[in-house]
Structure 1
Amino acid sequence: MHADQLAGIGDEAAASLPDQIAAITALGWPGIELRSVDGVPLADLDSSRFQRVRRAVAGAGLRVVCLDSRIGNWARPITAPPDADLRELDVLADRCAALGTRYVRIMSYLPDGLGETEWRERVLERIALLGDRAARHGVVLLHENCSGWAGSDPERMLRLVDAGGPCLRLLFDVGNGIEHGYDAFEVLQRVLPHVEHVHVKDAVGGPGRAEYVLPGDGDARVHDCLRLLLDHGYRGALSLEPHLVTRPHEGVAGSDPEPFLRAGRRLEGLLRTAPTGVA
């Protein structure tokens, strides 16, 4: 497999940074994706605490593959002013430079009661604003196929890419289709050329009743998605977000990293069976 592509979202394994780093290094992986430390979003850490994070990650020899923001997520509908999003982007852009990454994960806003036309126009306007700010900072926004205007529809994802300009690409989560009601593999086929980062999870069930399982054990067609990506020369990160015990953004926390480690080993196994792009 391309071992250099493997990474994990640290706070899916543990809340504390030492435990996050320990989980990633136990898998022998080179990459970590940062979202929160001790339950505090990365953009909200004060300067001294952030510097400790930077030193710890560098000291462990880990490469930071992406910073996960709250921009456009369920807590910030499109009716909210852009100020909080722009402030968070400014902070995370500086932190990208310090951590040696150029990627910031975003979503595309819930409507908060707006009709379809106004929702669409406001989202595209906001994404254009964020894309311009990202270009000035020299970072790339990665839109995730999760909640929001362009969360599940490939045609909307492509419109978002157009609106965001060269500093907006796609983050494709292979497992989000179960919770959000679409076939991830079919969507991936449509947007594949624009995918620059990947999250890996799996689930059974459906919208509002998704139950997360080890990669390959669910209905998300994880293996098919990985094969498609590798067959087409995907060389970005494959970042584990298993949702098995810890889901910080939902207030679900656990202290046992073992499910995360099991999911990581399962991901390695799935990659070993992919037909191309792996050793």
Structure 2
Amino acid sequence: MSDMTAWTLSGFGDEIDADPIVQAAVLQALGARHIEVRSAWGVNVVDLDQAQLERLRQVLTERSMGVSAIASPIGKVDVSLPVEHEVERLGRAIAAARALGSRYIRLFSFYRGESVPVESIRDDVMVRMRALADAAEAADVVLLHENEKDIYGDTPERCLDIVETVGSDHLRLAWDSANFVQVGVERPFDDGYGLLRPHLEYLQVKDALRATGEVTPAGEGDGQLLETLTALRDDGYTGFASLEPHLTDVNALGGFSGPEAFGRAGRALRRLTDQIGVKLG
């Protein structure tokens, strides 16, 4: 059965170049027919106006590229901001999802002040995630919570806490092995996969070294990528595998790789999927 499994390759276009035409060309050279949209022309996806969204849609449509997800920055703000702040921004991410023909919107579960204990923000986080899920339900989009470093949901247990507490079909999980490694989850697959698999909807692909936190191509770090991909294959996963290489420059809003390093990341993933008999396209 495993040789029949097929996953859909995608990637964060703005890690390649600011220009969506270059983004699409590099992804297509790697065999992808989808793109994850975080920014275009240096403008974040929630800040693109209607004319820019239409121009981006045309660029992608002309190249037969689908959009796997809107990689929004929603929830990458301090939890002390009012609930409405991110609900309003989510409205803009939903508009982008509609314009670009995607049902998925990535988001996060809030930062906190430096000396603020994580447990103390739980209730505020849940109120905000519930409000965001309500908006997603009304718009019929699916929110994908990414286990980003230093947000409330950065460990498997707290990711589970969020999806179970909110309890919405419109709030699911994106899995990022590298981020788990970087927050001290020793063995992401062993420690987190079983807990989170029932809620796992989307795969973001990068790896990291435990000793330094340095991001690596898939399979070259301590993120147990091979075990994770093999288990997904055996579970019947048929969704997206989205490259987010972060290989040359990382900042608070994302990372950058450039075409060459992005290609290296794509080939590393394909080596793993070839090894386990998963078709990537």
Length-normalised TM-score, structure 1: 0.90
Aligned residues: 272
Length-normalised TM-score, structure 2: 0.90
Q: Paired residue for 1:211? A: 214
> Cα distance 1:144–1:101, how it changes in 2: closer, same or farther (>3 A)?
same
Give yes or no for contact 2:12–2:244 (8 Å, CA) kept in 1.
Answer: yes
Deviations along 1:197-248, one digit per CA (max 9) or x if unpaired, are 0101112144xx4222221111111111111111111111000111112546
Give yes or no for contact 2:246–2:256 (8 Å, CA) kept in 1.
Answer: no
Q: Paired residue for 2:121? A: 119
What does residue range 97-116 of structure 1 map to in structure 2 within 5 Å?
97-112=98-113, 113-116=115-118
Over the aligned positions, Cα root-mean-square deviation in angstroms equals 2.0
Q: Paired residue for 1:140? A: 142
One-letter amino acid of the structure 1 residue matched with residue 188 of structure 2:
A
Structure 2: 5+ residue runs without aligned partners? Answer: none
Q: Paired residue for 1:85? A: 86
One-letter amino acid of the structure 1 residue matched with residue 95 of structure 2:
D
> Cα distance 1:149–1:115, how it changes in 2: closer, same or farther (>3 A)?
same
Give yes or no for contact 1:227–1:274 (8 Å, CA) kept in 2.
Answer: yes
- In 2, the alpha carbon distance for the partners of 1:268 and 1:258 equals 16
Give yes or no for contact 1:34–1:68 (8 Å, CA) kept in 2.
Answer: yes
Instruction: Specify which of 179, 183, 188 is matched with residue 184 of structure 1.
Output: 188
Find the residue that maps to 1:244 and give its secondary structure: coil
Tell me which of the two structures has the higher relative contact order, counting C-alpha pairs closer than 8 angstroms and 6 or more residues apart.
2
Instruction: Specify which of 51, 56, 61 is matched with residue 59 of structure 2.
Output: 56
More displaced 10-residue stretch of structure 1: 265-274 or 175-184 = 175-184
Deviations along 1:88-122, one digit per CA (max 9) or x if unpaired, are 21111122122111111111112224444431111
The structure 1 segments of at least 4 consecutive aligned residues displaced by more than 6 Å after TM superposition are none
One-letter amino acid of the structure 1 residue matched with residue 204 of structure 2:
H
Percent same amino acid at aligned positions? 35
Deviations along 1:9-37, one digit per CA (max 9) or x if unpaired, are 11122222111111111112111101011
Find the residue that maps to 2:248 and give its secondary structure: coil
- In 1, the alpha carbon distance for the partners of 2:251 and 2:25 equals 18
Give yes or no for contact 2:34–2:65 (8 Å, CA) kept in 1.
Answer: yes
